[in-house]
Structure 1
Amino acid sequence: MKIVVTGSLGHIGKPLTWELLSKGHSVTVISSNSEKRAAIEALGATAAIGSVDDVNFLTTALADADANAIFAMVPPNFAETDQVAYYRRITGNYVRAIAQTGVERVVLLSSYGAHLDKDTGFILGAHHAETILNTLPGNIAITHLRAGYFYYNLFGFTDMIKSAGFIGTNYGGDDLIVLVAPVDIAAVAAEELLKPATGITIRYVASDERTASEIAQGLGAAIGKPDLQWLVLTSEQMKEGMEMRGLPAHVIASFVELGASLHSGDLLNDYNQHKPVLGKVKLEDFAREFAAAF
C-alpha cells in the first residue's frame, strides 16, 4: 500500500512509519519542519514538507504519493484561541484533499470523550473532527481511533510535585484514568490502516487503567516519594493555580472543563461500553521513564 502519515516523526508518527515500512509498504511522512527531511528519508520514507493547514499542499502531497490510505491527526496548537474552529478547519482540509485524490482508507487520531458534543475542553475538537470526516463519500473507509490519556501528559506535573509535594487537579483520587502510550497507538493505527475495512468504525486505544491515586503511588515509588498523592481540587483552585503559572485564559478554561468531565465520569461513559484490549505499556513501564526525567 501507499500510505501517508501525518504528525511528522513524533511520538506516534515515528513508530507508525517504521512499522509500515517494515511490512513493505510505501510511506510518505508529512512534516511542517524541513529539518526532519533527512531523518524521514533515513527511515526509508518519502518526506513531504508543509502544513496540513494548507489544503493545497495537503492535496498535492496525497496526489504525489498516489496514496491509498492516510493516518490523519490534528497537530496540537494551544495558541489557537478557538480550538473547535481550529479542529474544524484542519479536518475540513483533510476532507477536501481526500475527496480529490484516490485515498480509500482513513484512520483519524481522535480521543476518548469524542462522543460528547459539549463540556470536554480540548476534546470537543475531536468530536467535531469525527463529525466532519464522516461526511466523506461512503466508499472511503474511516476509523476513528479514540485514544486515552497520554502517559507523557504526566510530565506536566513534575514542577508541582517538586514544589508542592503532590499532584492536584479538579480530578484525582479514585477517578479512573485510561492511560495510553504512543507506541501502542502506533501499533493499532498500523493494524487499522492495513486491514480490509468498510464504512465508519470507532476503536478505543488504551494501555492501562488506573485510578489517579494509583498513578500517584506508581510515580511516587519510582521517584523516591512513596507518599505522593493526587488530590482533588475545586475547579476554582485549579484555575487559580494555572493562572499563577501564566497560562492563557482559553487554555485554562479548556483544561478545567476537561478535568471536570473526567471527574464526573462523563468522559468515560462510551469507553466503558466499548473497552479495548489493553496495549503493552503499563504504568510501571512509564514510571521508570518518568523517574529518569524527574
Structure 2
Amino acid sequence: MKIIITGSLGNISKPLAQELIAKGHEVTIISSKADKQQELEALGAKAAIGSVEDVAFLKTAFAGADAVYGMTPPNFGATDMIGYYRNVANAYAEAVKSAAVKHIVYLSSYGADLEKGSGIIVGSHQAEDILNELNGVAVTCLRPGYFYYNLYNFLGMIKRQGVIGTNFGSDDKLVMVSPLDIAAVAAEELTAANPQNKVRYIASDERTCSEVAKLIGEAIGKPDLQWVTFTDEQVRNSMLEQGRPPVITDLLVELGAAIHTGLLRADYEKHKPALGKVKLPEFITEFAAAYNRN
C-alpha cells in the first residue's frame, strides 16, 4: 500500500512509519521542516516537505495514496486554536477528495464526542465533523486518552514545589496512553482490508491522579509526592502569570475541568477498548530518568 503519514518524526508518526515500512508498505512522511528530509529518508520513507495547511501541497502529496494518517500539529501560537483545527481538517478533506484517497485515519482525542466544554478538544470534535462529511471515503477517528508524556509538564513543579497540581487531581481518573500503542492501532487501521467509518478509543492504562503521583514519587525518591487539585481560577492565574495567552489559557483550564468532572471520559467509559501494551510504570522509568537529568 501507498500510505501518507503526517506528523514528521513525532512520538506517534515515527514508530508508525517504522512499522509500516518494515511490513513492506510505501510510506511518505510529511514534515514542515526541510532539515528533517535526510532523517526521514534514512527510515526508508519518502519525504514531502510542506505545511498541512497548504491545500495545494497536500493534493500533490496525497496523489496516488491508498490511505492517509492525518494529525493536527501543535500550534500554541494560533490566535484561534479551534479555527486552526478546522483549517487543517478542511485542508485534509479537500486534498483527500482531490487525490481520490479512499481512507483517512485521523488522530482525534477522547472527549471529541463533545460539542462544547472540553477546551482545545472542541477542535478535534469539529475536525471529525468535517472529515465525516466526506463521501466515498472511510474515515477512522482515533480517540486516545491523556498522553503519558504530558506528565513531563510537571517536572518543574515537582522540583520547585514538591507537588503535582492543576485543576484536576487526587482521585480523578486519568485514561492514559502511550504513543507506541497509538502507533500500533493506527498501523492496524491504515492497512485494514475493508476500512469502515468508525471511532476507535485507545488507552494503555487507567489510574487515579493520586496513584500516578505515588508511582512517580517512589521512582524519584519522593514517596510522599501528592497530586493536589487547584481551583480553575488558581490555575488560570498561574498560566497567565507564566505568559500564556488568555485564549489558550481558557481552553486549557476548561479541558482540565472536563477531566476533573469526568465529562471528558464519559463516552470512553461507554466504549472501552482493550488496554494497550505500554503500562504507566514503564513510562515512569523514563520520567524518573528525565527528572534526575534536570
TM-score range, shorter chain: over 0.9
Please, which runs of 5 or more residues in structure 2 have no aligned partner?
none
Matched, 1:97 2:95: yes
Give, as a single letter, the amino acid of the residue that structure 2 aligns with 1:22.
A
Q: Is the 8 A contact 2:8 2:30 kept in 1?
A: yes
CA distance in 1: counterparts of 2:124 and 2:238, whole angstroms: 26
Single out whichever of 235-244 and 205-214 deviates more from structure 2: 235-244
Paired amino acid for 2:143: R
What is the root-mean-square deviation of aligned Cα atoms in Å? 0.9
Q: Does 2:158 match 1:161?
A: yes
**Separation in structure 2 between the aligned mates of residue 102 and residue 223 of structure 1, nearest angstrom:** 51
Separation in 2, partners of 1:206, 1:171: 19
Q: Compare 245-254 and 44-53 and name the one that shifted more.
A: 245-254
Q: What is the CA–CA distance in structure 1 between the aligned matches of 2:65 and 2:100, rounded to whole Å? A: 6
Give yes or no for the alignment of 1:140 onto 2:170. Answer: no
- CA deviation map 1:113-164 (0-9, x unaligned): 0000001111110000100000111x21111000110111100001111111
- Indicate conservation of the 8 Å contact 1:171/1:232, yes or no: yes
Query: How big is the shift at 1:197?
Result: 3.2
CA distance in 2 between partners of 1:71 and 1:249 (Å): 32
2:168 is equivalent to residue 171 of structure 1:
yes
Extract unaligned runs of 5+ from structure 1.
none
Map of 2:129 onto structure 1? 131
**3-state SS of paired residue (1:173):** coil
The 2-side partners of 1:192 and 1:257 are apart by 31
The one-letter amino acid of 1:235's match is D
Decide which of 201, 210, 213 is 1:204's aligned counterpart: 201
1:83 pairs with one of 70, 73, 81: 81
1:109 matched residue in structure 2: 107
Aligned length: 291
Contact 2:148 2:283 in 1 (8 A): yes
- Aligned residue number for residue 2 of structure 2: 2
Please say if 1:119 is aligned against 2:117: yes
Q: Is the 8 A contact 1:140 1:198 kept in 2?
A: no
Q: TM-score, normalised by structure 2?
A: 0.97
* CA deviation string 1:162-196 (max 9, x = no partner): 11110111111111001111111000000001112
Matching of residue 180 in structure 1 with residue 177 in structure 2: yes
Greater alpha carbon shift after TM alignment, 236-245 vs 213-222? 236-245
Tell me, in whole angstroms, the C-alpha distance in 2 between the residues paired with 1:166 and 1:32.
Answer: 37
Q: Which of 189, 194, 199 is equivalent to 2:191?
A: 194
Q: What is the SS of the residue equivalent to 2:124? A: helix
Partner of 1:242: 239
C-alpha distance in 2, partners of 1:19/1:286?
Answer: 21
Deviation at 1:198, TM superposition (A): 4.2
Alignment of 1:221 with 2:180, yes or no, is: no
Q: Give the AA of the match of 2:169.
A: G
**CA deviation map 1:60-110 (0-9, x unaligned):** 1111xx100000001110111211111111100000000011311110000
The alpha carbon displacement at 1:52 in A equals: 0.6
Rounded to whole Å, the distance in 1 between the matches of 2:116 and 2:195 is: 29
- Alpha-carbon distance between aligned partners in 1 of 2:219 and 2:27, rounded to the nearest angstrom: 38
Amino acid of the residue matched to residue 162 of structure 1?
K
Distance in 1 of aligned mates of 2:59 and 2:275: 35
Task: Please tell me whether the aligned partners of residues 189 and 195 of structure 2 are also in contact (alpha carbons under 8 angstroms).
Answer: no
Q: How does 1:61-72 map to 2 (within 5 A)?
A: 61-63=61-63, 66-72=64-70
Residue aligning to 1:51? 51
- % same residue: 56
Secondary structure of the structure 2 residue equivalent to 1:222: helix
Separation in 2, partners of 1:270, 1:232? 24
Identify the residue that residue 259 of structure 1 maps to in structure 2: 256
Is the 1:213–1:229 Cα contact (8 Å) retained in structure 2? yes
TM-score normalised per structure 1: 0.97
CA deviations on 1:180-235 (whole Å, 9 max, x unpaired) are 11111000000001112344100001110000000111111111111111101110
Equivalent pair of 1:180/1:206 in contact (CA under 8 Å): yes
Distance in 2 of aligned mates of 1:25 and 1:268: 34
